[in-house]
Amino acid sequence: MDGHRLKIGNIEAAVPVIQGGMGVGISLGNLAGAVAKVGGIGVISAAQIGFREPDFDSDTKAANLRAIRKEYEKARAIAPDGIIGFNLMVAMRHYEEYVQAAVEAGADIIISGAGLPTELPKIAGESDVKLSPIVSTEKSAKVILKYWGKKYGRMPDLLVIEGPKAGGHLGFTREQLKEYGKDESYDQEIRRILYTVKIYEEQYQCKIPVALGGGIENYEQAMHAFSLGADAIQVATRFVTTKECDADIRYKEAYIKAEEQDIAIVKSPVGMPGRAIMNPFMKRVMSGERIPHSPCHQCLYSCNPAEIPYCITDALIHAAKGEVDDALLFCGAHAYKAKRLETVKEVVASLLSERV
């Protein structure tokens, strides 16, 4: 893939690697800046991004809005000429204000999933920020492309396809996860999504670059994604065990220590399936124990604090701080393959060159 660049409208990444957004506090300004510095697209997760701010408990929204700018400026200082974006979940409360804060901070691109970002073009307004919805199925791709075309007369600047081997919350039901359990099964879904994209490209006379993510952790998998027709790959888990990742070293070590049998599909407190490393905390949850939690930090629309078995904000903050026995340790399907700490530069090189 030497010389293969990713063009998104009038911006261009030197290497076709997008670092996936990981919250809470896993992909912040340091990791995003490091990825952008080596020519990829660095992505800051805005999910409860202000968890280290002094007023996070008393005024979560203000803390998050302030941290969006701070983390962007941190990344931009590392990569003055790099491409830096934000991952923003549609399911977040105050989504619109967080999108606007990312735009005002100077983001080059906003990647948005955990629901279909139908109103993202309206929220972003006339700004130059590139907009990228995340889809997982042909059906969701058709819905977002048709809606954006009909309502806004425009197409996404980039489309991210996130497959069933991704980490964190997954855009599939448990039944779909079983259906797409074999690579060749989901390959067919990818081809259907790409065919849909081609139809809309012809209709709107534009290029919609596509990034494929979910379980991509080596050169062979990256090349397979490109052979299917992807313009770029989105990679998250491989970047956790880098020296530049914003997470605590104990979080990174949990990946390095994990065995294949330790990785499981779990149910998050908001009812969505996700992939995580089994640990004492998750065993307590799966045994039916209700974990006491902090006052609500207004993270997701679908959460009812009175009914949840544990607080996902609390559990993910514990993870970012390295309190791994009391944490939800989200990860991708191949997290157990991490054996050592690497640099971002080494990870990108290993994904794009068989000579590494």
pLDDT 10s digit of each residue in the chain, 356 long?
A: 445 899 999 999 999 999 999 989 999 999 999 999 999 999 999 999 999 999 999 999 999 999 999 999 999 999 999 999 999 999 888 999 999 999 999 999 999 998 899 999 999 999 999 999 999 999 999 999 999 999 999 999 999 999 998 988 787 777 777 777 666 789 999 999 999 999 999 999 999 999 999 999 999 999 999 999 999 999 999 999 999 999 999 999 999 999 999 999 988 777 778 899 999 999 998 888 888 877 666 666 565 666 778 888 899 999 999 999 999 999 999 999 999 999 999 999 999 986 43
For residue 296, what pLDDT is reported? 67
Distance CA 38, CA 139 (A): 35
The helix/strand/coil state of 198 is helix
For residue 57, what pLDDT is reported? 92
For residue 272, what pLDDT is reported? 77
For residue 323, what pLDDT is reported? 97
Distance CA 259, CA 248 (A): 20
Give Rg (Cα) of the chain: 19
Distance CA 154, CA 144 (A): 11
For residue 292, what pLDDT is reported? 80
Place of tokens 């993910």: 316
Identify each DSSP E strand in the chain by its residue range. 6-8, 11-13, 17-19, 41-45, 83-89, 109-113, 130-135, 159-162, 168-169, 210-213, 232-235, 263-267, 273-277, 329-330
- Give how far Cα 130 sits from Cα of 8, 57, 288, Å: 8, 32, 43
- Give how far Cα 38 sits from Cα of 15, 62, 218, 352, Å: 8, 32, 18, 13
For residue 355, what pLDDT is reported? 46
Please count the residues of the chain: 356
